[in-house]
Amino acid sequence: MDVLIRKARDVSLAVTAPPSKSFTHRAMICAALAEGPSLLSRPLVSDDTGITERALEQMGARFARDGDAVRVQGTGGRLACTEGGILDMGDSGTSMRLLSSVALLCGCPVVLTGSPRMKERPLGPLMDGLVQLGGSVRYLGQEGFPPVELSGDLKGGVTRIPGEISSQFITSVLIAAPYARNDIEVVLRGTPVSRSYLDITLEVMRVFGGEIRRSGYESFQVKSGTPYRGTDYTIEGDYSSASYFFALAAITGGRVTVHGLNPESCQGDRNFPDILSRMGCTVRWAGTSATVTRDCALKGVEVDMSSSPDTVQTLCMVAACAESPSLITGISHLKYKESDRLAGTERLLSSLGGKIEVVNDSIRIEPSLLRGGTIDPGNDHRTAMSFAVLGLGTGGVTITNAECVNKSYPGFWDVLRSGGLL
C-alpha cells in the first residue's frame, strides 16, 4: 500500500494515544507466567504484540478477548512447550529478546527464529548472559544471531550483560528471573542505553508481585520463588506514538491535543513535548491531555536521546524544519532496530533535500529547503510514520509499504484520514 502525503497547514487535531507497546509486551509476559487469571485493559493490538501473544499461547498461556481488554490465564511458570517447538518472532525484536529467557522455563529445547531482518539483529550478548545462568545455546545460523535453539535451565546466580546495544537484553533476564531456581543478579557492563525501558520493566514486574532490588542502573537483584500473581492492569498511553502528532503541530504550525497520557509516566519518550518546547512550541497539560501549538519559527536543539530512541526519527523531522542547526546524540544503538535507522534516516532525509550528517552516535541537521519524494521505509514502522509527518509539512511525499505501521500503530493512517489530512 502506498500513501500520498499532501501539504497541510494550521492543523487542528485531537487524538487519543494508542496503548503503549512496551507496557503491553511486558504485561502479557507477566500475566502469562502468573498464578491465576489477569485482566489486561487496553492492551495494544498490533503485529508485534500479536507475535508475543501467540508465542505465549504456544507455551501454555491462554488469551481471550473481552471488549477492549484481554483475559489471560497464567501458567504459574509451568510452561507447556513442545520439545523442538519453533517460536517464530517475525519482525518483533522485543518478542525475540524478552521471550528468550522465558524459553529457558520450558524444560525442553525450543527454537526461536524470525524474519530475514531479525536474523541480522544481534542476540549474542543476551545468549552469553543466559549461559552464565544455566542455559544452553546453539546457533542455527550465524554465530550471535537468530535463529537459536535454547535448552537447559534457568538456575540463577550472577550474570553480566553489556548495556550498550539494547536494554531488552537486561529486561529479558529480569522478567523471567522470579522463576529461576535461585536468586538472580544482573550486573550491567558499560552505560546502558534506553534506561527508561528498564524502569518500565521493573514497574510492570512489581505490579504483578515481583521482588526486585536495584543499584541505580548498575545491578538488579530478583528474588526467586516469588511467582507473579494474576492481577487487573490497565495499559497506559504510548508517548512514542503520540510524538508523531506533537511533531505534526510543530512542523505545520498547528495545534494538536493528545489524550490518554500519563504525565508521571516512566516512559523515556515523555520528554518529547519538553524538547518541542525548547524548540519554540507551547505545551499545555490538562490532566492526561497534552496540547502542542507553534506560533513562531522553530529553533534547533542539542539533546541526548539515549533514553528516548523511539522518538529520534520524529525529532529529526522537526529539526529538519527548524531555522538553526540541531545536534542529537546518544543514538548509536539505532542501527540495531527494525532497520538501521541511522543510515536510513540520513539517506531518506537527504533524498528530500535535508542536510543531515551521522557521525558515530550523533546526528547533525542543518536548515535546508525540503522537497517531496518517495520514501521506502524498509518495513520500519517508525520510519514510515516520521516521514509521513514531515510530508505533511513539505507535501508531495509518498510512503511505500505503508502498512508496516501495523507493527506498532495499526490505526495511524485512519487517524490522519479522519482528521482530513489524507
- How distant, in Å, are the alpha carbons of 9, 208, 355 from that of 201? 39, 11, 37
pLDDT for 333:
61
Domain that holds residue 348: 3-9+263-279+298-418
Domain membership of residue 16 (yes or no) is no
Q: Which residues of 258-272 are buried (b: 16+ CB within 10 A; e: fewer)?
A: bbbbeeebbbbbbbb
Got the DSSP string for 93-156? HHHHHHHHHHHTTSSS-EEEE--TTGGGS--HHHHHHHHHTTEEEEESSSTTSS-EEEEE----
Is 269 an annotated catalytic residue?
A: no
pLDDT tens-digit map of 260-274 = 999 999 999 999 999
Domain membership of residue 253 (yes or no) is no
pLDDT tens-digit map of 370-422 = 999 999 999 999 999 999 999 999 999 999 999 999 999 999 999 999 999 99
pLDDT tens-digit map of 288-341 = 999 999 989 999 999 999 888 899 999 999 999 999 999 999 887 665 555 588
At 278, list the grid cell. 525548547
pLDDT for 110:
96
CB 226 within 8 A of CB 209: yes
Q: What element of type H or E holds 51?
A: helix 47-58
- How distant, in Å, are the alpha carbons of 66, 289, 320, 331 from that of 346? 43, 33, 11, 13
62-66 sheet: strands from edge to edge:
62-66, 69-73, 37-41, 232-234
> Which is the catalytic residue, given 48, 91, 238, 310?
310
Task: Let me know whether 203 and 267 are in one domain.
Answer: no
**More confident: 165 or 91:** 91
Task: Let me know whether 404 and 268 are in one domain.
Answer: yes
Q: Inform me whether the pLDDT recorded for 195 exceeds 90.
A: no
CB 290 within 8 A of CB 17: no
Task: Let me know whether 272 and 403 are in one domain.
Answer: yes
Q: Which amino acid, residue 314?
A: T
pLDDT for 163:
78
Task: Let me know whether 273 and 215 are in one domain.
Answer: no
Domain membership of residue 156 (yes or no) is yes
| Rounded-to-10 torsion of CA 8, 12, 16, 21 | 30
Domain membership of residue 289 (yes or no) is no
Task: Let me know whether 113 and 189 are in one domain.
Answer: yes
**CATH code assigned at 356:** 3.65.10.10
Task: Let me know whether 304 and 405 are in one domain.
Answer: yes
Give the integer Cα–Cα distance in Å for 147 and 90: 11
Domain membership of residue 326 (yes or no) is yes
pLDDT for 151:
95
Last residue of a domain, one of 221, 236, 251: 221
Domain membership of residue 231 (yes or no) is no
Percent of the chain that is helix, strand, coil (3-state, to 5): 35, 25, 40
Task: Let me know whether 202 and 337 are in one domain.
Answer: no
Percent of the chain whose pLDDT exceeds 90: 89
Across 218-338, the runs of DSSP E, i.e. the strands, are: 219-222, 232-234, 255-259, 282-286, 289-293, 302-304, 326-329
| DSSP code, position 19 | B
Task: Let me know whether 208 and 311 are in one domain.
Answer: no
> What is the number of other CB atoms lying within 10 angstroms of the CB of residue 35?
16
Domain membership of residue 210 (yes or no) is yes
Give the integer Cα–Cα distance in Å for 213 and 217: 11
Q: Which amino acid, residue 336?
A: Y
| DSSP code, position 46 | S
Average pLDDT along the chain: 94
pLDDT for 361:
82
Q: Inform me whether the pLDDT recorded for 192 exceeds 80.
A: no
Q: How many domains does the chain have?
A: 2
CB 242 within 8 A of CB 251: no
Task: Let me know whether 310 and 215 are in one domain.
Answer: no
3-class secondary structure, 323: coil
Domain membership of residue 125 (yes or no) is yes
Task: Let me know whether 30 and 99 are in one domain.
Answer: yes
Alpha helices in 239-340 (DSSP H): 239-252, 272-278, 312-319
| DSSP code, position 224 | S
Task: Let me know whether 267 and 217 are in one domain.
Answer: no
Task: Let me know whether 181 and 35 are in one domain.
Answer: yes
